[in-house]
Structure 1
Amino acid sequence: MTEGISRTAFEIFGIDIYWYAIIIVSGVIVAMWLSAREAERVGLKEDDVSDFMLAGLPIAFIGARLYYVLFNFEPYLNDPIQIFNLRSGGLAIYGGLIAGGLWLLFFCQRNFIPTWRFLDIAAPSVLIAQAIGRWGNFVNQEAYGPITTRSFLENLYIPDFIINNVYIEGAYRQPTFLYESVWSILGFILLLLLRRKKGLFKEGEVALSYVIWYSFGRFFIEGLRTDSLYLFSSIRISQLLSLVLFLASWAFLLWRRQRNAQLKDYDPTRGKNQFII
C-alpha cells in the first residue's frame, strides 16, 4: 500500500513545519489579497482589510479552536494543556466564522465602515480560503467519510495521490474534505461572476448568498463525515447549525427586501480602482 503524505513540510532549527499550517496560512493570504482588491472597487480602503485581519485572524483561530474543544471536550479532560496544541489540528470552521463575524461587526462600528458592504467583499474570499484550508485536513487525514472502495474513488476520477492518502485505518474513505473544497470553489466562482452583474444583489446579499451556499452544501457533506462534533451525543452540531443558517439566511434576505425597497445595490464600480478578478 502506498504510504500517505507526510504531515511535515520541512524543518527549521529542529522544529517541524506542518503542511496544515502552510495551507491554512496560504488560504488566509489569498483571502486578504482578494478582499483588498474588491475593497478598492467598492469605495473602501485596502487598509481596511489589513486592519481588520490584524486582530480578526487570531480571534477567528481562537473561535475555531474553542468551538472544536467545546463540542469535543472529553479528550482534553485528562490533559487540558492539549487545548492549546494547534499543531495536531482541531479547528472548526463554524467557530472561526462566528468569532470572526462578531469581530467584524465591532470593527465596522468602531471605524464607521458600512458593515454589509464589508461583509460582501469578504464573503467570496472566505469561501476560497475554506476551499484551500480543507487540504490541510487532507494532509492530516481528517474530515473524512465512511468506508468505500478504491474502484468507487477511481470512478470519480480522483487522482491517485488523493486516493492513496484517504486509505485510513485499513480502509479507503469518502474524501469529504474534497467534496467541501470543490463545493466552496464552485461557490466562489459563482459569487464572483454574479456580483459583477449590476443590480442583481443588494448590499449584504453577496454575504447572505455565501451563507446560503456554504450551509446548504455543508449540511449534506457533514452527514457523511465520521468525525463530526455532536450535541447530546446524537445531533451533528455543524449539520444542525447549517440547517439553521440556511433557513435563517433565506428568510432574512426575503424579509429585508420586502421591508426596505430602498436598499442600495451592491456596486462594484463605486471605487476608483477598476481591478477585475
Structure 2
Amino acid sequence: MHFQSPGAFVINVGFVTIRWYGLLIATGFVIAAIMAHHLARRWKLDPEQVTNLCLISFIGGIIGGRLYFVALNWSSFWSQPLEIFAMWHGGMSIHGGIIGGFLTAAIYSRIAKLPVLRCFDLGGCVMPLAQAIGRWGNFFNSEAFGQPVPDNFPLKLFIPRESRPYQYFNHEYFHPTFLYESIWNLLVFLFLYHFASKKLYKYPGLTFLLYIDLYSLGRLMIEPIRVDSIMAGETPVPIIASAASLIIASILFLALLAYYKKKGITVPIPD
C-alpha cells in the first residue's frame, strides 16, 4: 500500500483558499472538544466552562506550537518576520502546542475556579485524538516523513521531488511516519479515554502525566526514522524534548501516586 498526497489545498479558487493542514487541525479540535464535553458530564464538570476551556486551550496551543517552531527555526524567519504569521504554510511544533495549551488551561482553570489537575486530566484524555487527526495534515503537505524505503515496502509514502531532502533526491518512497504517529496517538486516546479516565479518576493529575509518558514514548520510537527533524548537534530536538518529558512525567507520576497513597487521598468516582 502506498500513499500520495493529492495536494495541500482543499479549495484554491481565486481568493478562496482552504488548506488540508488547517482544516484537519480544526477538525481534530472540534472532535476532541466533543469528546471532552461528554467526559466532563461524566466527571460532573460544568460543560459550558469546559467548552470555554477547550477554546482557550486550543488558541494557546496554536500560539505555543507556532512560537516553539519559529524559535527552533529562527534562521529561516529573522529575514522575513511576516512569515511567522503564515501558519497556513505549515510549521507547528507539537511540544510547543502541548506547553501552550496546558499553560493556558491552567490559567483559565484558576480564574474559573475549576480543579486544575482534573482539567489537565480531561485534556490528556482527548489531546491524543486531536493529534491523531491533525497528523494527517503533514500527509497533505508532504512533510514529517521518514527515511527512504524500497519499492516493495508494504507501507510507503510518495514524496514529490520538491519536498525531498537533497540527500534523498533520487528516492521516491519514504516511511509514512505521519501514519505511524497517527495510529499511536489513536491507541493512546482509546486507552486513556476508556480505561485510564476511569481507573485513575480518584488520583487527579495521573491521567495527564500518563498521557505525557505515552505520547513521549511514541515520539521516541518514531522520531529516529524521520529525516526532517530539527537538530541540536547530532540529536533531533524532538528526541531530546520527548526524553526529558518522559523522565519528568514518570517521576512526577510516581511521586504523586505515592503522595496520594500515603495521605489516603482519593476523589470518589461520580455515579
TM-score normalised by length of structure 2: 0.88
1:219, 1:243 within 8 Å by CA — same for their partners in 2?
Answer: yes
Deviations 1:208-264 (A, max 9, x none): 111110001111211211111223x33322111111111111111111122232232
Q: In structure 1, what is the equivalent of residue 249 of structure 2? A: 249
Amino acid at match of 1:241: A
Where 2:157 maps in the other structure, the secondary structure is: helix
Task: Say whether residues 1:15 and 2:27 are aligned partners.
Answer: no
Which of 245, 262, 265 lines up with 1:263 in the alignment? Answer: 265
2:9, 2:17 within 8 Å by CA — same for their partners in 1?
Answer: yes
Where 2:152 maps in the other structure, the secondary structure is: helix
Cα distance in structure 1, aligned partners of 2:88 and 2:104: 24
Distance 1:111-1:75 versus aligned 2 partners, 3 A rule: same
Q: In structure 2, what is the equivalent of residue 234 of structure 1? A: 234
Q: In structure 2, what is the equivalent of residue 5 of structure 1? A: 6
Shift of 1:87: 1.1
1:134, 1:177 within 8 Å by CA — same for their partners in 2?
Answer: yes
Distance 1:46-1:180 versus aligned 2 partners, 3 A rule: same
> Where do 1:38-117 residues align within 5 Å?
38-117=39-118
Shift of 1:145: 0.9
Cα distance in structure 1, aligned partners of 2:175 and 2:184: 15
Shift of 1:48: 1.6
Amino acid at match of 2:62: F
Structure 2 unpaired stretches of 5+? 165-170
How many residues were matched structurally? 261
Shift of 1:146: 1.0
* More displaced stretch, 114-123 vs 30-39: 114-123
Q: In structure 2, what is the equivalent of residue 273 of structure 1? A: none
Amino acid at match of 2:157: I
Structure 1 unpaired stretches of 5+? 271-277
2:124, 2:207 within 8 Å by CA — same for their partners in 1?
Answer: yes
Where 1:9 maps in the other structure, the secondary structure is: strand
Q: In structure 2, what is the equivalent of residue 275 of structure 1? A: none
Shift of 1:123: 1.2
2:157, 2:175 within 8 Å by CA — same for their partners in 1?
Answer: no
1:36, 1:45 within 8 Å by CA — same for their partners in 2?
Answer: no
TM-score normalised by length of structure 1: 0.86
C-alpha RMSD over aligned residues: 2.3
Q: In structure 2, what is the equivalent of residue 163 of structure 1? A: 157
Amino acid at match of 1:163: L
Amino acid at match of 1:195: A
Cα distance in structure 2, aligned partners of 1:106 and 1:115: 9
Amino acid at match of 2:192: L
Where 1:16 maps in the other structure, the secondary structure is: strand
Distance 1:5-1:210 versus aligned 2 partners, 3 A rule: same
2:200, 2:206 within 8 Å by CA — same for their partners in 1?
Answer: no
